[in-house]
Amino acid sequence: MTDIIDMANTKPADLSVPVAQQGSEAQDPNTGTGRKQPVREAIIRAAELARGAEEHARDRQHAKGKHTARERLDLLFDTDTFQELGRFAGGDIAKGKAGSAVITGFGEIYGRKVGVYAQDFSVRGGTLGAAEGTKICRLMDMALEMKIPVVALIDSGGARIQEGVAALTQYGRIFRKTCEASGFIPQISVILGPCAGGAVYCPALTDLIVMTKENSNMFVTGPDVVKAATGETISMDELGGGYVHNSKSGVAHYLGEDEADAIDYARTVLAYLPSNSEQQAPSYAYASGHAEQEAAKRLKTIIPENDRQPYDVMDVIRAIVDYGEFVQVQELFAQSAVVGFACIAGSPVGIVANQPAVSAGILDVDASEKVARFVRMCDAFNLPVITLVDVPGYKPGSDQEHAGIIRRGAKVIYAYANAQVPMVTVILRKAFGGAYIVMGSKAIGADMNFAWPTSQIAVLGATGAVNIIHRKDLQKAKEAGQDVDELRDRLAAEYEASTVNANLSLEMGEIDAMIDPEQTREVIEESLATLATKRRVKHTSKHHGNQPL
């Protein structure tokens, strides 16, 4: 689409010259000969305003190490695919006002249509007023009708104070539109500047939030308000910078090195998701070969013989997904769990795994919420869920109980129990207690469950179980002067041989098959092919469940 800025270099119409000799060239429908059309002076004036506004934006944004809103759109969309809506809406061309503080429109990402609204900090600090709210809501209405994703590029000073309640009302409208779109079309927010006050809940309601290491901030109350209210002195980055929200709060899902990296992550994630919940995710050409065979062989060497020795579950994931490519979500948050997107035989899937390299892969309040939210997103957008289990249980301690491990841990149960996409689970090493049940067990709703030969499934690990079951025997041995440790080890070995292995689960049908590590990818691929025709079923007439929040 030709940008109106190009018109700024066109001369205005000369009314003393016949129409046939001035302006732009067109074909006469009667004669078939070329004729000239006049270029309205107002159009040229608008083009000059647009060009001046972009020059002003470059001067302001580049000085801060930031791109302009239009430069960000160039990074987001495939070349020459952006089509703008209402460029001058909210402006006043006669008075030299180019437009509002937000750009809205549609473009293509990897050939698929996507809606966008990009806040322009060079116009009134990117603040939101009636004109901006109207443009954003119109964009979202159209995206819902077209059933396409929406990306928000956020860089704003918040509500426009001069417009008072009228500005706040627009946030309410946007919140409601975002909730209406939730689970129906993918929504991604990229924070490329300030996002403060009530404005933070626009991105908070979307599926994914992407931030950058520099210039990206989110907080409900800023440093000045915090200091006035509590006396605490804190910087913007320490309060709500990109690293804080990626590693501590869990608000954000990816920390970009810079704006280009952050926007590229949004593009990448959309490649794994369908345009809406009524469609299946796009599929890609894939042909397995020697690399997959070598990767399968590596699987049998990854897990140490010592069941207490850690390993990196990322090595397992990369060995079973296409080309070893895995796009992590919330990589810096709750690192005892790993979640993200990958492809199996060209079809996108969601991967959920415990991470033994961090706190033995234990489930705590943060890891529970991380897993639950990701499973819900996969279920909303028809991505099969592959769960790789190596979990010793829920994290014990008063801090976890007081932080709400019961309420927040229940979110994992709710997510898996309500998911209706294909679900395949592989137990890599151990699955103990309640954590075994919630991590994609057959009892909670998984379709196909497998286990590696050395896997352990039980209420407790052998040593913990022996300490409880044989407490009196151990006490008597101690009183009799016997070697208590030797007795505990012997009892633990007996318990492990009879109870902790996966045989009981196999016999009960909770595990469908014991597989060699090298078979893992093949078995997952075959399972997904079998489950390809699985469809959603509405079991009751309820409006919705009452999820623990």
CA dist list (Å): 387 to 22, 191, 338, 365, 409? 68, 30, 10, 19, 17
User: Which of 272, 303, 325 delimits the end of a domain?
Assistant: 272
**Same-domain check for residues 229 and 317:** no
Count Cβ atoms below 10 Å from residue 88 Cβ, excluding itself. 16
On the 0-12 / 13-18 / 19+ scale of CB atoms within 10 A, 532 is: exposed
> Is residue 158 among the annotated active site residues?
no
In a domain, 241, yes or no: yes
**Same-domain check for residues 267 and 306:** no
What pLDDT does 51 receive? 76
In a domain, 15, yes or no: no
Q: Which helix (H) or strand (E) holds 217?
A: strand 217-219
**Same-domain check for residues 453 and 390:** yes
Q: Length of the chain in residues, anyone? A: 549
In a domain, 471, yes or no: no
What pLDDT does 474 receive? 82
List the structure tokens of 361. 């892969």
**Same-domain check for residues 457 and 376:** yes
> Which residue is catalytic, options 47, 196, 367, 435?
435
For residue 268, the enclosing domain spans 42-272
pTM across the whole model? 0.89
> Is residue 197 among the annotated active site residues?
yes
| Residue 110 near residue 270, CB atoms below 8 Å | yes
> Which residue is catalytic, options 99, 197, 250, 409?
197
Q: For the chain, how many structural domains are there in total?
A: 2
> Is residue 434 among the annotated active site residues?
yes
What pLDDT does 18 receive? 45
**Same-domain check for residues 261 and 399:** no
DSSP secondary structure code for residue 395 in this structure: P
What pLDDT does 19 receive? 41
| Residue 320 near residue 524, CB atoms below 8 Å | yes
Q: What is the pLDDT of residues 409-438, one digit of tens each?
A: 999 999 999 999 999 999 999 999 889 999
**Same-domain check for residues 149 and 239:** yes
| Residue 419 near residue 546, CB atoms below 8 Å | no
> Which residue is catalytic, options 125, 183, 198, 222?
198
Q: What is the pLDDT of residues 4-56, one digit of tens each?
A: 666 555 554 444 444 444 445 555 555 555 555 555 676 676 667 667 767 87
In a domain, 28, yes or no: no
User: Which of 216, 240, 272 delimits the end of a domain?
Assistant: 272
In 314-439, beta strands by DSSP E: 327-329, 337-344, 347-354, 385-391, 423-432
CATH number of the domain bearing residue 84: 3.90.226.10
In a domain, 295, yes or no: yes
**Same-domain check for residues 259 and 297:** no
**Same-domain check for residues 297 and 253:** no
pLDDT along the chain (549 residues), means of 10: 57 45 52 58 67 76 89 97 90 74 97 97 90 96 98 94 92 97 98 93 97 96 92 95 97 98 98 98 91 92 91 98 97 98 98 97 97 98 98 94 96 97 97 92 96 85 75 83 83 73 76 96 97 94 93
List the structure tokens of 270. 């959309």
**Same-domain check for residues 248 and 343:** no
Residue 16, classed as helix, strand or coil, is coil
> Which residue is catalytic, options 183, 222, 404, 434?
434
What pLDDT does 15 receive? 42
**Same-domain check for residues 403 and 439:** yes
The Cα 152–Cα 126 span in angstroms is 13
In a domain, 5, yes or no: no
| Residue 137 near residue 176, CB atoms below 8 Å | no
The Cα 296–Cα 193 span in angstroms is 44
In 226-369, beta strands by DSSP E: 254-256, 327-329, 337-344, 347-354
**Same-domain check for residues 182 and 305:** no
**Same-domain check for residues 87 and 221:** yes
DSSP secondary structure code for residue 109 in this structure: E
> Is residue 435 among the annotated active site residues?
yes
In a domain, 488, yes or no: no
In a domain, 480, yes or no: no
The Cα 52–Cα 5 span in angstroms is 9
